[in-house]
Amino acid sequence: MIVYNTTFHAHLDVVQDFLDWLRTVYVPRAIADGRLSEPRLTFVLNAEESDGHNYSLQFRAADVDVLRDWYAAVGDDLVMEMAGRFGDKVAGFSTLLEEVGL
pLDDT one-digit tens code per residue, 4-62: 999 999 999 999 999 999 999 999 999 999 999 999 999 999 867 678 999 999 999 99
Kindly list the domain boundaries of the chain, sorted by start residue.
Answer: 2-98
As assigned by CATH, the class of the 2-98 domain is: alpha beta
Q: pTM for the full model?
A: 0.91
17 phi, psi to nearest 5 deg: -65, -40
Dihedral of the CA atoms 87, 91, 96, 102 (nearest 10)?
Answer: -140
